[in-house]
């Protein structure tokens, strides 16, 4: 039986946002897992204490940006349109149905002029440290990849510049180790690449519009100015670190054998410290007054604040690690004396 429904578009109902959002919604899970009040501590010194216009809640600003990235919304303008109409988004930022959402330009201005890169880094490190404390990180395997991002720069607006070539030190040792691993897995080893006759300088193309970008070759004939976002993830897809470089910087960077830093201390008035995530080769970590700890790919070292220590490569091996700063207040690094050759030679 055909039934024509009534269009009750002007019906007045008494409802709450909480009633309209499903109990298993992703944003409910995020709200339950993350204490967003921590953000107030990160941005407190960026606001005037006793005058000026009342601000939009900084937690709301960060939550709106989270919505944009979680749901892949292409622009901030479109994000605010979605927030205005989506009940779950309104629930997440705490705005009832009759409250006007912030203008997209307000959010853009805050993230461009108020919140520094250090503020964003603090929030990222804070969430990552919470995941580490709960045991969610699995660094037995760390995956590092780069994604090229086209720069807003015209290839025709360029200049030629002479640049020194970076030496490929210890490439032979690295290639031999890679080939041993490939042979163990029944794969064909890579051919030797003798670049000993390579010139010490080369001519590169630099953008006059965006000098920090680099030329990226898209296939055989296409090229553009670009950046490359190098992202490191653990086995559970947690992003451990991100480094943005020019588009012509290669992914493979190694630390030479015997390279080590000085004894140093990460000071902090509150919180702070560092997490080392070892990704390749063999190295060492040592705290003052304690035996050195040998590090291998997958090793994780949690370094508390105020602990004097050093870390670096083994005498006979290249070594690579990611260094994750734990959020804190009044953080600074004090560099102390060098690790003596006598101490270092005791290591195997």
More confident residue, 342 or 145: 342
pLDDT of residue 334: 86
256-313: pLDDT as tens digits? 788 888 899 988 888 788 888 887 888 999 999 999 999 988 888 889 899 999 998 8
Express as a percent the part of the chain with pLDDT over 90.
26
In this predicted structure, the answer to whether residue 167 has a pLDDT above a threshold of 50 is: no
What whole-number distance in Å separates Cα of residue 275 and Cα of residue 262? 17
Structure tokens at 96: 């009832």
DSSP 304-333: -TT--EEEEE-TTS-EEEEEEEPPEES-EE
DSSP E strands, the chain? 143-150, 158-164, 201-207, 214-218, 222-233, 239-246, 264-267, 270-271, 274-281, 283-287, 293-295, 300-303, 309-313, 319-325, 328-329, 332-335
pLDDT of residue 292: 92
CB environment 285-298: b (16+ within 10 A), e (fewer): bbbeeeebeebebe
pLDDT of residue 192: 63
The CATH 2.60.120.10 portion of the chain extends over 264-345
DSSP E strands, 182-259? 201-207, 214-218, 222-233, 239-246
pLDDT of residue 253: 41
6-27: pLDDT as tens digits? 888 888 888 888 999 999 999 9
pLDDT of residue 197: 47
168-180: pLDDT as tens digits? 544 565 567 667 7
74-83: pLDDT as tens digits? 899 999 999 9
Q: Give the CATH architecture of domain 264-345.
A: Sandwich (2.60)
First to last CA, the chain: 85
In this predicted structure, the answer to whether residue 201 has a pLDDT above a threshold of 80 is: no
More confident residue, 86 or 342: 86
Tell me the HSE value of 28 on the side-chain side, using a 13 A CA sphere: 11
pLDDT of residue 63: 95
What whole-number distance in Å separates Cα of residue 202 and Cα of residue 155? 19
What whole-number distance in Å separates Cα of residue 163 and Cα of residue 246? 14
Mean pLDDT, the chain, whole residue set: 83
**Band of residue 252 on the pLDDT scale cut at 50, 70, 90:** very low
Using the structure block, give the residue that is written with the tokens 């440290």.
129
Express as a percent the part of the chain with pLDDT over 70.
88
pLDDT of residue 85: 94
């Amino acid at each position: 039986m055909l039934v024509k429904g009534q269009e009750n578009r002007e019906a007045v109902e008494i409802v709450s946002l909480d009633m309209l959002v499903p109990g298993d919604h992703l944003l409910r899970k995020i709200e339950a897992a993350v204490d967003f009040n921590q953000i107030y501590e990160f941005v407190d010194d960026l606001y005037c204490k006793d005058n000026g216009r009342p601000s939009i809640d900084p937690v709301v600003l960060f939550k709106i940006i989270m919505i944009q990235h979680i749901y892949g919304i292409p622009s901030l303008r479109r994000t605010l349109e979605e927030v205005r109409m989506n009940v779950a988004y309104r629930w997440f930022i705490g705005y009832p149905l009759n409250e006007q959402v912030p203008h997209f330009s307000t959010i853009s201005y805050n993230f461009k002029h108020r919140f520094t890169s250090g503020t964003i880094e603090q929030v990222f490190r804070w969430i990552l440290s919470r995941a580490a404390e709960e045991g969610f990180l699995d660094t037995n395997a760390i995956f590092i990849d780069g994604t090229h991002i086209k720069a807003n720069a015209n290839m025709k607006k360029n200049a030629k510049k002479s640049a020194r070539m970076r030496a490929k030190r210890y490439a032979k040792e690295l290639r031999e180790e890679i080939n041993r691993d490939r042979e163990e897995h029944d794969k064909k080893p890579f051919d030797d690449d003798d670049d000993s006759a390579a010139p010490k300088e080369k001519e590169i193309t630099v953008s006059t519009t965006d000098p920090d970008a680099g030329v990226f070759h898209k296939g055989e004939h296409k090229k553009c100015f670009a950046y490359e976002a190098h992202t490191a993830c653990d086995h559970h897809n947690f992003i451990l670190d991100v480094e943005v470089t020019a588009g012509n910087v290669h992914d493979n960077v190694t630390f030479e054998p015997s390279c080590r830093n000085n004894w140093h201390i990460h000071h902090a008035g509150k919180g702070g410290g560092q997490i080392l995530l070892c990704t390749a080769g063999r190295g060492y970590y040592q705290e003052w007054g304690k035996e050195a700890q040998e590090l291998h790919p997958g090793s994780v070292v949690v370094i508390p604040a105020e602990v004097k220590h050093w870390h670096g490569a083994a005498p006979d091996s290249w070594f690579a690690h990611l260094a994750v700063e734990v959020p804190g207040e009044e953080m600074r690094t004090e560099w102390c004396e060098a690790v003596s050759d006598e101490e270092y030679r005791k290591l195997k």
